[in-house]
Structure formats: structure tokens, C-alpha cells
């Protein structure tokens, strides 16, 4: 059986590594979670700032290496062997920060899992494939604006921090990466009565990106209103495409369609 690749592209550029640590703004005494420590390049620098570090690594061999390298001098380090996309982050004391050069293949599910536990997290400094970060930071009207942009920006303040060329890694990946920060919001960006309905509409609106909303939102057709030659829903012209709608537009639609008894 072919061994599953674990997105093991290790950082080899000391200047970029240092920059990442500076941008993560880790203070002495912070509790930090590092996902995928790999060979420990970021781990070592994190431990030079704060002793309270939990690492989550899927590869048993790398876990052993991290243990052998760091446990003796850093007795507070916790090493969790397992999948960061399945980890129960509520088992950790709230208020921690997350730092990770995420494995490409699992970056989005791991990020979504972290957002799910966002109320326990101060901030996350994450590295992902550049194209995905383009989507996370995209605004309405941008080509990259998608349901993932709305999901992440609904829950978090997103900031792009640094571009990282593929030459910073070994083995060298085919793609470039970007570093960004996510700060979970105490309250979602917009107020919606029913978040499930809100995301159902958002996902439907982007389902066929090039189609008009009137085609993507057929499920709610009975609520469409024809006004002066335009088809509208919650006042929004449905000849528009999902990618032009702001978060507030989506919230208005969801609240308009919300019916507590349905």
C-alpha cells in the first residue's frame, strides 16, 4: 500500500521562520498549540519564548523525534499524536494561540475545526496554499470571493501577513504559500436568526459560480417577487451573481426567509 503523503514540506529558510514567529506575536507565558511540528523548526523558536506548548502531529515517527529532541529541556511540552482535524480542542485550557504551517492536503478541514472551537482561541497564525488564502481574504466582487470567504469572515477577522515562496521549503512544493491570521470574533460579523439557513443560502448562491442567483436559489422560488421587470428576493436583484453579494446582503436574505415555525 502506498504511504499516504502527509503534506510534509518542511521550512528550511531561517529568515522566514523568524518572521513567522514575530508575526505570530507570541509572548512569554502564552499557551500555544502548534499543528504539525514536523522536524521542529517552528517548535524550537516557540519554546524559546514560552514553555506552554502543545503540539499535534499525525506522523508517529516525527512525534518520537520531537519527544526525543525537546522533552528533556522542556518538560511542559505536550505531544499529541493524532489528526488535528479530529482533535478535541475543548480538552485544552481556553485562551490559547495557534501557530501552524498546515499540511496542504488537510489545511481547510483543520482550519474549519479550529474555527469551530474559536471561542477558546485568542488567535491563529496559519500558513496555507496561496490560492486558498486568496479566497479567505477575498471581498465581494473579487473573482476569488466564495462561500469559504463568507464562512471564515463570518466567524473571524482575517488578515494576510506574509507571502512565502516555495523555495522556503524542502521538499519544494509546486505552489507558493501565504501566512495569515484569524482572530475569532466574539459575535459573528452579521446578525442572523438561523446560521444554518444563512450558510445554506450562501452555499447555494455560490454553487454554480457563473449562474445568476435566480438559478442558484431556486429552492426559495416561492419567495421571489417580480418588480419592474426584475426578480427580487429580500430586495436583492436576482440577476446578480453570488460573488457580488456582501455578508450583509446574505444576512438580509436569510433573515427575510427565516420563519421560526418552518
Pick the closer one to ligand SAM by CB: 7 or 188: 7
Is residue 156 within 8 Å of residue 98, measured between CB atoms?
no
Listed in sequence order, the residues at least 6 apart from 24 whose beta carbon sits closer than 8 Å to its beta carbon are 97, 99, 125, 181
Q: What is the DSSP letter of 234?
A: T
Q: Does 252 bind ligand SAM (CB under 6 A)?
A: no
Report the C-alpha gap between 69 and 234 in whole angstroms.
59
Q: Of these, 26, 33, 63, 85, which contacts ligand SAM (CB under 6 A)?
A: 85
Q: In terms of DSSP bridges, do strands 96-101 and 78-81 run parallel, antiparallel, or are they unpaired?
A: unpaired
Stretch that binds ligand SAM, among 37-45, 138-146, 209-217, 228-236 (CB under 6 A): 37-45
Minimum distance from residue 259 beta carbon to ligand SAM (Å): 40
Q: How far apart are the first and last CA of the chain?
A: 49
Is residue 164 within 8 Å of residue 153, measured between CB atoms?
no
Q: Of these, 97, 103, 114, 249, which contacts ligand SAM (CB under 6 A)?
A: 103
Q: Of these, 33, 62, 79, 201, which contacts ligand SAM (CB under 6 A)?
A: 62
Q: Does 47 bind ligand SAM (CB under 6 A)?
A: no
Stretch that binds ligand SAM, among 56-64, 130-138, 186-194, 247-255 (CB under 6 A): 56-64
Minimum distance from residue 135 beta carbon to ligand SAM (Å): 19
Q: Does 242 bind ligand SAM (CB under 6 A)?
A: no
Give the SS3 label for residue 182.
strand
**Pick from 28, 37, 116: nearest CA to 78:** 37
For ligand SAM, the binding residues (CB under 6 A) are: 6-11, 35-39, 41-42, 56-59, 62, 83-85, 101, 103, 106
Amino acid at each position: 500500500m502506498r504511504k499516504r503523503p502527509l503534506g510534509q514540506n518542511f521550512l528550511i529558510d531561517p529568515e522566514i521562520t523568524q518572521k513567522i514567529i514575530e508575526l505570530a506575536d507570541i509572548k512569554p507565558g502564552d499557551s500555544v498549540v502548534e499543528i504539525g511540528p514536523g522536524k521542529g523548526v517552528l517548535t524550537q523558536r516557540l519554546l524559546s519564548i514560552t514553555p506552554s506548548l502543545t503540539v499535534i502531529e499525525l506522523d508517529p515517527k516525527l512525534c518520537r523525534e520531537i519527544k526525543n529532541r525537546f522533552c528533556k529541556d522542556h518538560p511542559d511540552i505536550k505531544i499529541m499524536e493524532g489528526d488535528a482535524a479530529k482533535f478535541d480542542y475543548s480538552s485544552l485550557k481556553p485562551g490559547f494561540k495557534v501557530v501552524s504551517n498546515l499540511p496542504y492536503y488537510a489545511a481547510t478541514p483543520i482550519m474549519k475545526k479550529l474555527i469551530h472551537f474559536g471561542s477558546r482561541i485568542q488567535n491563529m497564525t496559519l500558513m496555507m496554499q496561496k490560492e486558498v488564502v486568496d479566497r479567505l481574504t477575498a471581498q465581494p466582487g473579487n473573482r476569488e470571493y466564495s462561500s469559504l470567504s463568507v464562512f471564515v469572515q463570518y466567524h473571524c477577522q482575517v488578515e494576510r501577513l506574509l507571502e512565502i515562496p516555495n523555495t522556503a521549503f524542502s521538499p519544494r512544493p509546486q505552489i507558493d504559500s501565504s501566512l495569515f491570521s484569524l482572530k475569532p470574533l466574539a459575535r459573528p460579523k452579521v446578525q442572523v436568526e438561523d446560521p444554518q439557513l444563512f450558510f445554506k443560502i450562501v452555499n447555494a448562491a455560490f454553487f454554480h459560480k457563473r449562474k445568476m442567483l435566480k438559478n442558484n436559489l431556486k429552492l426559495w422560488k416561492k419567495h421571489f417577487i417580480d418588480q419592474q421587470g426584475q426578480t427580487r428576493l429580500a430586495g436583492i436583484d436576482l440577476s446578480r451573481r453570488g460573488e457580488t453579494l456582501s455578508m450583509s446582503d446574505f444576512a438580509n436574505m436569510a433573515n427575510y426567509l427565516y420563519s421560526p415555525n418552518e
